[in-house]
Amino acid sequence: MILQSFSYDITRNLLTIIDRFLIDVDFTPKIMTAEELQQLVFNKWGCFYDIQIVRLKDKIYFQVMWKYLEQVSFHWTQEEYYEHLEYIAQLITTWGVVRQVQVGVLEAKNRPRLGKAVSFSLDLGERESEWIIDN
């Protein structure tokens, strides 16, 4: 656990340095797995929170919800939760927004709390219109 925490701190510090000095170097993995997404959220807030991708108007948002796996009232089993994370990780990878998610979670000032998700928009670039379909 100490090694994981140390590795997490190094990664967070490296991302901060790169962003601060606007170095045009991309150390971001091109894919994100369910395990990596789960660990990113757990390292930030200490719980396995529910994660959702939500469309509001013409924007797509990454949301860390206030419910978490360790709650008795959580709406999924551990297996269902993991399958959901696999789906979210696949979307993040397909859209090419792995770095946006990493930075968004690491830079979040608040933690999820009852009725209030941690939320940030995802910039899908020119491909955004492919993913936003009017009903």
CA distance 68 to 64: 10
- Residue 125 clears pLDDT 90, i.e. is over it: no
Query: Is pTM, for the whole model, over 0.85?
Result: no
Q: How many domains does the chain have?
A: 1
CB–CB of 122/95 below 8 Å?
yes
Mean pLDDT of the chain, nearest integer: 82
Segment 70-105, tens digit of pLDDT: 998 899 999 999 999 999 999 999 999 999 999 999
Residues in the chain: 135
In a domain, 33, yes or no: yes
- Over range 34-52, report the average pLDDT: 95
Model confidence at 10: pLDDT above 80? no
Contact 122, 56 (CB under 8 A): no
In a domain, 40, yes or no: yes
What are the structure tokens assigned to 93, written together?
């990878």
Q: What is the CATH number of the domain that holds 70?
A: 3.30.428.40
Alpha-carbon 50 to chain mean position: 10
More confident residue, 19 or 124: 124
Residue 2 lies in a domain: no
24 is a domain residue: no
Under the banding of pLDDT at 50, 70 and 90, the label for residue 129 is: low
Rounded to whole angstroms, the Cα distance separating 71 from 82 reads 15
